[in-house]
Amino acid sequence: MGCVQSANLAHFVSDRCYSTCARSFPFLDDVTTCSYTKLQQVEVDLPVMLMTTSFYGFLLNPKKSIFLRPSARILGHLVAEEALSVSSEKR
User: Looking at residue 16, what is its pLDDT?
Assistant: 93
H or E element that contains 8:
helix 7-17
Q: What is the pLDDT of residue 40?
A: 93
If pLDDT is split at 50, 70 and 90, which confidence band does 82 have?
confident
Confidence bin at 32 (pLDDT 50/70/90): confident
CA dihedral angle for residue 80, residue 85, residue 88, residue 91, rounded to 10 degrees: 160
Average pLDDT over residues 60-74: 85
Give residue 17's Cα distance to chain centre: 13
Percent of the chain having pLDDT more than 90? 32
* Residue with the larger pLDDT of the pair 4 and 20: 20
- Burial pattern 33-47, b for ≥16 Cβ within 10 A else e, equals bebeeeeebeeebbe
